[in-house]
Amino acid sequence: MKTISMIAVFCFVLVTGIQAQDKVEATFGGVASCKACHLTKKSGAQYKLWKAGPHAKAFETLKTAAAKEVGAKLGVTDPATSDKCLKCHVTAHGVDAKLKGKKFTSEEGVGCESCHGAGSKYKGRKVMKAITAGTTDGATLGLVTPTEKTCAGCHNEENPTHKPFKFEEQVAKIAHPIPAAK
C-alpha cells in the first residue's frame, strides 16, 4: 500500500514537473541576442537595417523637446520615464523584470522582440534554421511572424501623434528580408 502511494506521489511530481517545464515562459534577450547572426550582408543585415530605421531611436525620441511638447498636453512631464509613453516606445514595457535577460535594456527602443516575440526559445542557430526550413513551427517557441495586427499594437489611435497607418507602405519602409539563395 505504502509503495503504491509513493509511486502515485512520484508520478504526480513527475507530471507537474513536466508541465512546469512546458510553461516556462520565453524571455527577452534584447537586440543584443539577435545581432551576431543577423548582422552580415549574407544574412540580410537585419540588425543594421533596424539600427538605421525608426524603431531603434524610439526611446531616444522620448528625450527630445518634441516629446516634451507632446507629453505636456497629456500632463506628462518626463516622457522617458512615463508608462504613458514607454508602452509603445520600448520593447516589452510592463513585462515582469524576471522575463528580461541580463543584457536587455529598454534603451534599445522598439527592438526585434517587440515584433518577433521573446527570443530565448527560438534563437538557437539549429532551431532558427529548422524554422526557416519549415521543419519546426516557430510559433510553438514564441516566434511571431508579424502582421498588420502586430503593428496596430502601437500604430493606433492611442498614439498621441497618430497618423493614418498604411500597412503596405509602412512595412516596405522597414523591410529586412533574408536574401534569396543564389
Residue number, 8 or 103, with CB nearest to ligand HEC: 103
176 binds ligand HEC (CB under 6 A): yes
Of 3-11, 19-27, 94-102, 156-164: span binding ligand HEC (CB under 6 A): 156-164
160 binds ligand HEC (CB under 6 A): yes
What separation in angstroms does the CA of 90 have from each of 41, 63, 112?
Answer: 26, 13, 11
Contact with ligand HEC (CB under 6 A): which of 104, 108, 113, 141? Answer: 113
Instruction: Tell me the DSSP string of 59-110.
Output: HHHTTSHHHHHHHHTTT-S-GGG-HHHHHHHSTTTTS-GGGB-TT--GGG-S
> Residue holding cell 524576471?
98
Residue 136 DSSP symbol:
S
Residue number, 14 or 175, with CB nearest to ligand HEC: 175
8 binds ligand HEC (CB under 6 A): no
142 binds ligand HEC (CB under 6 A): no
Report how far Cα 180 is from the mean position of its chain's Cα atoms: 25
Of 4-12, 17-25, 94-102, 131-139: span binding ligand HEC (CB under 6 A): 131-139
Q: How far is the CB of 96 from ligand HEC (least distance, A)?
A: 17
C-alpha distance across the termini of the chain, in Å? 68
150 binds ligand HEC (CB under 6 A): yes
> Residue holding cell 537595417?
49
> Residue holding cell 508602452?
87
Q: Cell triple for residue 151?
A: 503593428
Binding residues for ligand HEC (CB under 6 A): 29, 31, 33-34, 36-38, 46-47, 50, 54-55, 57-58, 61-62, 66-67, 70-71, 74, 76, 79, 82, 84-85, 87-89, 110, 112-116, 119, 123, 125, 128-129, 131-132, 138, 145-146, 150-151, 153-156, 158-163, 170-171, 173-174, 176-178
